[in-house]
């Protein structure tokens, strides 16, 4: 079955530091890949996505590239802000059939950014 493995947290950084959160996956077929973010006390929001190999998703300064050869979708940001403090989830979406629309989530990574 599908699975997603995320870098263990929590991750603590100073403002303007570089961020990488590793995500690897196991899946059959050609899944879509997503990063979701959950800010304190809020719901889950889609941060970015990629639907095929070598696609790069980007949003709010965050980027992730769909690497089929290494089955990875690492999240990066060049300069984090205090407002980026949140829980980040890597997720995999089934491509079709009876599993269409279902998401498999990684464990989540807590990011705390200090001024």
Partner 1 sequence: SAVISQKPSRDICQRGTSLTIQCQVDSQVTMMFWYRQQPGQSLTLIATANQGSEATYESGFVIDKFPISRPNLTFSTLTVSNMSPEDSSIYLCSAPSAGNEQFFGPGTRLTVL
Interaction site with partner 1 (CB under 8 A)? 32, 34, 36, 42-46, 49, 51, 89, 93, 95, 98, 100-108
Where do the DSSP E strands lie in 29-98? 32-38, 44-50, 56-59, 62-65, 75-77, 86-93
CB of 6 to partner 1, least distance (A): 8
Comparing CB distances to partner 1, the nearer of 69 and 100 is 100
Nearest Cα residue to 90 out of 30, 41, 50:
50
Comparing CB distances to partner 1, the nearer of 17 and 24 is 24
Nearest Cα residue to 93 out of 30, 48, 45, 36:
30
CB of 16 to partner 1, least distance (A): 29
Comparing CB distances to partner 1, the nearer of 17 and 65 is 65
């Amino acid at each position: 079955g599908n699975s997603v493995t995320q870098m263990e947290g929590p991750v603590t950084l100073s403002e303007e530091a570089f961020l990488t959160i590793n995500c690897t996956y196991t899946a059959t077929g050609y899944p879509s890949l997503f990063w979701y973010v959950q800010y304190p006390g809020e719901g889950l929001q889609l941060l970015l996505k990629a639907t095929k190999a070598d696609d790069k998703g980007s949003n709010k300064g965050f980027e992730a590239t769909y690497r089929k050869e290494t089955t990875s979708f690492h999240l990066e940001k060049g300069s984090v802000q205090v407002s980026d403090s949140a829980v980040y989830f890597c997720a995999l979406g089934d491509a079709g059939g009876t599993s269409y629309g279902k998401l498999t989530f990684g464990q989540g990574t807590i990011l705390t950014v200090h001024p």
